[in-house]
Every structure is written in structure tokens, then in C-alpha cells.
A and B are shown apart, each in its own frame.
Chain A
Amino acid sequence: MSDEYEHKLEAKSDYTTDASSVSAPEIDSVPEAELPDQELYHSHSWWTTYVFSQDAKYIGIQYALTAVGTGLLGLVLSWLMRIQLAFPGLGWLDPAAYYQFVTMHGMIMVVYLLTALFLGGFGNLLIPLMCGARDMAFPYVNMLSYWAFVVAVVVLLASFFVPGGPTGAGWTLYPPQAITAGTPGSDMGIILMLVSLILFVAGFTMGGLNYIITVLQLRARGMTLMRLPLTIWGIFTATVLAMFAFPALLVGCLMMTLDSLLGTSFFMPAMVSLGETLTHEGGSPILFQHLFWFFGHPEVYIVALPAFGIVSDLLSVHSRKTIFGYRMMVWAIVGIGALSFFVWAHHMYVSGMNPWFGFFFATTTLIIAVPTAIKVYNWILTLWRGNIQLSLPMLFSLGFIVTFLNGGLTGLFLGNVTVDVPLSDTYFVVAHFHMVMGIAPILVIFGAIYHWYPLITGRMMNETLGKIHFWITFIGSYAIYFPMHYQGFVGVPRRYFEIYDSPYIDTSTLLLNKFITIAVLIVGAAQLLFLYNLITSARLGKKSEKNPWKANSLEWQTPQMPPEHGNWGKELPKVYRWPYDFSVPGAKEDYIPQNQPPSEIIGAKVEKT
């Protein structure tokens, strides 16, 4: 460490606690408890313990397993689609099945995997633990939220078994084609999809109210909002976004259900289908697009913000360094969240909107790059001169930064109207959104699972298998999506079930399709390895110490690990600082947990937080 740096720390020494001036009880004081201790629900039967559990940790695991199970189906669908694209000669899928798989893959991954896993899974597991609460504010409503999600998933999967199969309208479900004959699943499939989404929104609202109130009203003594881990800030802001974005989806779904069942014309213009004039008249298909994307764009950040938050914590813990610019990170999360409500029509540049409208939305879209760039710089500056541990969570976090940067840069292309118009509906778009909201958040999810697995099971996951998993997944995703950027530039359209050998399509794309498919299957196999690791480590993994990563945040400071019902034993924790005091000069250890009283770390040059 340079002398100059030492000198600066000396200058800050007024923050250091001087043992002689104050007594221990005085410096250890935190504000009085405002509320009596939370009354907990105690289960008495097998059903209320393991099925209709009201313990947030347990609900979080239920959410996560259901989401991952559904996500596996989405993964298998992507394999089937890729085999069809690479080897169209096999006649593997007919066009209808291909569209149905595209649709279900997209909807499952975005809503039923990522949203449910980040907010329902990590939210339930981490919010009470990291805030220092015994449970969510409303455990019963929390339980209902999970079971509404289960019903939503069941309804969604039921659409595979109805006449006509699931809807093949694309995950955006644009009318009029979504409910017009000729689109696969235009009778039953689409109805089940819409009903499932409505159920999902209802279930999510119940969970979301819990997450918001728990963060705002159930924090431990001493836990101010600016001492919360960034994970909580990310999940909290994403939940707020969801509470205001899902209503638009709900309304859009309801209106389309009525269009389909009752024959109303909210979204349906007068049209001729199969030679017959339909009874619909005077509706506006563009209205649905506005409703959908008013939900759809914040949805991108509902997935991204928890990933931002979690990755900040992983980077800080595994590089043993304070997060760079904590407050700026918080404001960036909040700012991105607010801005995300003003950019939705950048998904609709080709819908024939007024050019000035496009200009407005291009401007707001590019403004989002500012807080996002702040975050990327801060992650890199967090690593700067840190004591970087190349553990599994760190590897995945590093993978995230690169991937997110990559996806973010292509976002700048697509955010500009003039560049977007020729690239719209090509594989460039597919590559962009898979990089930025597919691979990037998934890498964080993997990192987070490796990081918090000991908190759930008390055991570590296998490191060697994890490293194989990381390198195949990381390099493999680039093998899959880099060629797609190129395919997009040469004009290969998305959602085609077969790329013909035509004079308009460069022949190199046919070869690339085969290459991508092989990469997809290899990456897919690596995920099975991950699942194997996930399942077997629960029983065979190395026993974990109490705080295996030497982290500061409260979830690792519970009296028992894994934490038991009520989390904190007799007494709730008291919080004295933020969770980022790593490698503090003068401290005995290189980390100072949030609940360690100042009288125990006399002499450490801790900054006031």
C-alpha cells in the first residue's frame, strides 16, 4: 500500500474509535426497538411444515425449485429448436411445433424462471435474513403467493395437453395473430397462457407486498436503508417495478381473453381470415403492444436489478474489498428502475409510430446507459487492487460483468431508431437479449447458488464440478451468441423454423447454425452436471463452516447455520455498520460483520456508515 494511501487513512482517523474517550456500552448503543418482537406462526403438522409452509426460507426454496424445474423444460425446448434449425432436413419439428416451442421457451424463461427465481426464490430466502427479521411481514399471504405460482405453472403446462397445443404466438403474444386461426394454439392454448399469466400476477402481488413491507418496516435495530446489502436494494427495487408493471400485463391479458372468448374487439381490427370476414371491428392491435411493453420493459429490469444487487455483494465479498461507491450504486439501481417506465416503446420502433415518438424513446433509452455504466465501472473499481479470490461465485460474477457489458453495448445499437429498423426481427436482437437478460442474470444466479448453497444445506458444492460447469457455460454461451450477432447483420430473420438455402441468406449462416447447435448441446450437458452437483452436494458435499466466505451481511450471522425457524434464536441482531467492511486497517480479521459491536473492534479504522 502506498504511503499516500496510508496518509489518507490517518486523516480519517476521527472515525476510529478511541478506547479511552468512551465506554463500551456507550459506543455500542443502537436505537431502541420500535416494535415488539414479531409473533411467528408455528407449524404443527407435516402439511403445514413441508407443503403449506409459512417460513420464508422454506417458501424461497419451494419457489426456487419450482422455477428451476419449469426452467428445465424451457431449456429442453431450446435444444429441440436448435436441432431443428441446424438440421432442417431431419424434419424434426413442424412449423407449428417450432412456434409453440419458441413461445413457451421465451415465456417460461422470462417470467416463470427468472422472475420467480430472483424475487420469489432469492427474495424470500434473503430479505428476512439480510434485514435481520424473523420472517416476512405476512407469512400466510406469502404461502398463498407460492401456491398461486404453482397453479399458474400447472395451467401453463396444461396447455401442452389441450387440443391445438400451447400458443405459438411468440412470447409477446401480439394480437391479432395470437387469437386468429392459423396461429398454433389460437383457441385453448392462448387462453391457458393468459389465465396462467393472470394467476402469476395475482400470486406475485401477494409476494411482492411482503417483500416491500419487510424491507421497509421489519429491519433490525441499527439497520438503516443505507446499510442494507445491495442484494436487498436490487430485489426491493425490482419488486416495486413489478408492482407497477404487472398491472399493465394483467389488463392486456384480461382484454385479450375477452377478445378471444366473448368476441369483443379491444385489439382486433376488421380482418379477413381464411377467406371469411371476421366479426371483429375497430380494435387497436397497437394498444396491446403498448400495454405489453409497459410491462415488458420494466420486466427486463425486474430480472436485471436483483442480478445487479447480488453480483455487487458477490464481488465485494470475494475480492475482500468495500463495494466501490455504495450510495451511487443504490441511486443507480433506483434511477434505472424509474427510467425503465419511460422507454417501453423502443420495442415498437417498427410498429409505424410517429418518428418524434421514436426519437423521445431513443433518448430515454440511451439515458439509461448512464446509471448502468456507473454500475459497471463501480464493479470494476471494486475489483481494482482487491484481494480477488477466484472462487466459484467470483468466476461467475466476472463472467457476468463481461457478458452484461457485451449485451449492453448491442443494446446501444438497438436503442437507436435508425439502427434498430434494419436489425429488427433478426438474430441480432436474439443475440442481444439473450446476452443481456438471459446469460448475464443466469450467470449471477449460478454464482449466487454456489455462494448461498451452504446457507441452505450447511454443505459446500463441489468446486471441481463447479469450475467445469463455469468454463463450459461461459465459453459456450459466447460460442452460441457471438455467431448470432453476425447472422443478424447478414439479415437472418428470427422465428423462422427453417433457414432455406436461398440466394438472400448467406450460406455461411447454415454452417453457423450447425456450430451453434453443437455448442448449445454441450452447454446443456454442462447444466446437467450442475444439477448433479446441486443434488448430490446436499448429502455428500463438504461440511461448511459457519460463515464459509467470511461475509459481513446478517444472513451468515445467525446462531444456527442453516438458520432455523425464526432465524435469530432469542434475541434479534443489532446492526452497527454496512456489510462492506472488508480488509479494514487495524482490524484483527479482514472482515467485520454488521452485528459486531464497536467495542470489540477498537483500533480498527472503520469509516462511519
Chain B
Amino acid sequence: MSDSSLENLPKGWKSVPSDLGSDQTAFKGVQWGKAMMWIFLLSDTFIFSCFLISYMKGRASTVVDWPNTSEVFSLDFMGVPVPLLLIAIMTFVLITSSGTMALAVKYGYEKNRKMCGRLILATAIGGLIFVGMQAFEWSKLIHEGVRPWSNPFGAGQFGSYFFMITGFHGTHVSIGVIFLFIFARKVYRGDFDTGRRGFFTTMKSDYVSIEILGLYWHFVDLVWVFIFAFFYLW
């Protein structure tokens, strides 16, 4: 649809019945891949919701007390245990990477290949640092005797839920990082300017893919905020 006909459509709430009552597309001017990512993320939200609700239920009904999280998650800084220090840095890095991702999308649409590529790389590195710090945190907890089936601080379910949920989220971040590196290469090679065909799908590349990847990345960050709140602050 051309941009001019998009502007003639009703705005605000009036657009909802008009778009749904129209032919051809229900989301006017929205690329298929973008709509697909939104629906996938909605489905993924249900996965994480199930995880977190199970965690709440599990935590509420253990026979042994839940470990004191501010002690378990504290990090010694110059001999003083500082609660949430590592997590604060991790969260900061991940949220910052969301910012660089948003800028990458903007430069992508402006066809500024250099800046777009740099910012995607910066996002990927942010993600990599996050995964690295998570690996550090996991190994620290494992050193202290926390296992998926038991731990010295309290209910065994603490380790079970912690490793499962952060692991599932970490897998999401890692997949995102892999795609960010692939996309950085694509941007530098100019795939999105020349419309080079995908190796697997044989479909033309388009800058909108960067926005789609961005949606995924912001979602992963948003999920982290909830995991952070439920695991570290509760």
C-alpha cells in the first residue's frame, strides 16, 4: 500500500473497526514478517507467564523455607557483600543494548549502513556481555553448592526454577546474539540495499527485518525485567 493511501485511513480507535472490516489486510501497511513476530512474541509471552506463574506457585508451596535472595545473589565488592550488584550491571547492560538496537533500526531505515552495522554490533556485544555475566553468576552459584535439585540455602526448588527460567531466557538472548551477528554481517555486506536473496528462504532482504529482530530483542529485555523483579527483588 502506498503511503498516501495509508494516510487517508481513519485514525485512532476508529481505525480498529475500519481495518478489521476491510478486505485484504487486517493490519494496514504492516509487513507480514513484522505481524508474525508480534504474534510469536504474544505466544512466547504465554510461555514465560507459565514459567513465572509456576515459579510463584512452587515458591508458595515448598515445605522448606525459600533462600534469602538478597544474600544468595550478593557479590563481594572490596570485601563487602553488596546485594544485587552483578544483577544491576547485567540489567543495565541489557537495557542499554535495547537502546542501541532502537537506534540501529532508525539508521537502517535511513539507509545509513555504517551506523546501522555498528549499532547492531554494539547490541550483539551487549547481549554477549549479558550472557557472559550470567555464566559467571551460574558458576558462582554452582561453586556455592546450588544445584538444580538442591542447595544449601533452603528449598531445592530455588535452584530448579532459577536455572530453568534464567536458562530459558539466556537461550533466548543467545539466539538473539547469533542473529544480531548474522544481521551485522548482512548490513555490512549491503544485503538490505541490494535486496540480496536469503540463503534458505530465497526471499529478498529488506531493512524491515532489522526492525523485526529489534522487536524480538526488546521483548527479551522486557522479559528480563519481569524475571529480575520476581527472582531478585521478591
Q: Give the interface of A toward B (CB within 8 A).
A: 30-35, 39, 41, 137-138, 140, 205, 208-209, 212-213, 216-227, 243-244, 246-248, 250-252, 254-255, 258, 262-266, 270, 279, 281-284, 287, 290-291, 294, 575
Question: Is B89 located at the chain interface by the 8 A CB criterion?
Answer: no
Give the docked Cα–Cα distance between A290 and B43 (Å). 18
Knowing A138-B32, A138-B36, A216-B25 touch, does A266 contact B160 (C-beta < 8 A)? yes
* Contact bitstring B26-59, A, C-beta under 8 A = 1, else 0: 1111101101100110111011011100100110
Closest to B31 in A: A217
Pair A35/B25 contact, Cβ less than 8 Å: yes
Q: Select which of B44, B47, B63, B203 is within 8 A of A281 by beta carbon.
A: B63
Give the docked Cα–Cα distance between A596 and B216 (Å). 43
Question: Is B156 located at the chain interface by the 8 A CB criterion?
Answer: yes
Measured between C-beta atoms, what is the minimum distance from B162 to chain A in Å? Answer: 11
Question: Is B21 located at the chain interface by the 8 A CB criterion?
Answer: yes
Pair A219/B42 contact, Cβ less than 8 Å: no
Knowing A222-B23, A247-B46, A264-B156 touch, does A217 contact B63 (C-beta < 8 A)? no
Give the docked Cα–Cα distance between A287 and B51 (Å). 11
Question: Is B194 located at the chain interface by the 8 A CB criterion?
Answer: no
Pair B39/A248 contact, Cβ less than 8 Å: no
Q: Select which of A213, A219, A243, A284 is within 8 A of B23 by beta carbon.
A: A219
Pair B39/A212 contact, Cβ less than 8 Å: yes
Closest to A263 in B: B149
Give the docked Cα–Cα distance between A266 and B61 (Å). 11
Pair A282/B24 contact, Cβ less than 8 Å: no
Pair B54/A243 contact, Cβ less than 8 Å: no
Contacts of B25 in A (CB 8 A): 34-35, 216-219
Pair A213/B24 contact, Cβ less than 8 Å: no
Give the docked Cα–Cα distance between A219 and B62 (Å). 52
Give the docked Cα–Cα distance between A257 and B58 (Å). 17
Specify which of B24, B26, B44, B62 lies most central, judged by the most chain A CB atoms within 10 Å of its CB: B24
Contacts of B200 in A (CB 8 A): 140
Instruction: Give the B interface residue count (CB, 8 A).
Output: 49
Question: Is B182 located at the chain interface by the 8 A CB criterion?
Answer: no
Question: Is B164 located at the chain interface by the 8 A CB criterion?
Answer: yes
Knowing A213-B39, A223-B24 touch, does A34 contact B149 (C-beta < 8 A)? no
Pair B39/A209 contact, Cβ less than 8 Å: yes
Closest to A223 in B: B23
Contacts of B57 in A (CB 8 A): 284, 287, 290
Give the docked Cα–Cα distance between A252 and B58 (Å). 13
How many CB-defined contacts (below 8 Å) exist between A and B? 148
Give the docked Cα–Cα distance between A219 and B47 (Å). 30
Q: Select which of B1, B21, B58 is within 8 A of A34 by beta carbon.
A: B1
The B56-93 residues at the A interface (CB cut-off 8 A) are: 57-58, 61-64
Contacts of B58 in A (CB 8 A): 266, 283-284, 287
The B187-222 residues at the A interface (CB cut-off 8 A) are: 200-204
19 contacts between A and B (CB under 8 A): A138-B201, A140-B200, A140-B201, A217-B32, A219-B23, A220-B23, A223-B24, A247-B46, A247-B47, A248-B46, A255-B54, A258-B148, A262-B149, A264-B157, A270-B63, A281-B156, A282-B63, A287-B58, A291-B54
Pair A243/B39 contact, Cβ less than 8 Å: yes
Contacts of A226 in B (CB 8 A): 21
Give the docked Cα–Cα distance between A225 and B44 (Å). 26
Knowing A35-B1, A248-B50 touch, does A137 contact B24 (C-beta < 8 A)? no
Q: Select which of B21, B29, B33, B149 is within 8 A of A279 by beta carbon.
A: B149
Pair B43/A251 contact, Cβ less than 8 Å: no
Measured between C-beta atoms, what is the minimum distance from A238 to chain B in Å? Answer: 14
Q: Select which of B5, B23, B28, B33 is within 8 A of A30 by beta carbon.
A: B23
Q: Select which of B1, B26, B47, B149 is within 8 A of A265 by beta carbon.
A: B149
Knowing A31-B23, A39-B204, A264-B156 touch, does A247 contact B63 (C-beta < 8 A)? no
Pair A264/B149 contact, Cβ less than 8 Å: yes
Pair A216/B27 contact, Cβ less than 8 Å: yes
Name 17 extra pairs, CB < 8 A, besides A212-B39, A284-B57.
Answer: A31-B24, A34-B29, A35-B24, A35-B25, A140-B203, A209-B40, A216-B35, A217-B30, A217-B35, A247-B44, A264-B156, A264-B157, A265-B149, A279-B149, A282-B155, A282-B156, A284-B58
Contacts of B156 in A (CB 8 A): 264-265, 281-282
Measured between C-beta atoms, what is the minimum distance from B123 to chain A in Å? Answer: 24
Knowing A264-B160, A284-B57 touch, does A213 contact B36 (C-beta < 8 A)? yes
Pair B160/A265 contact, Cβ less than 8 Å: yes
Question: Is B142 located at the chain interface by the 8 A CB criterion?
Answer: no
Give the docked Cα–Cα distance between A220 and B25 (Å). 9
Knowing A247-B50, A282-B62 touch, does A255 contact B149 (C-beta < 8 A)? no
Give the docked Cα–Cα distance between A243 and B41 (Å). 10
Contacts of B161 in A (CB 8 A): 266
The B154-178 residues at the A interface (CB cut-off 8 A) are: 155-157, 159-161, 164, 168
Contacts of A250 in B (CB 8 A): 47, 50
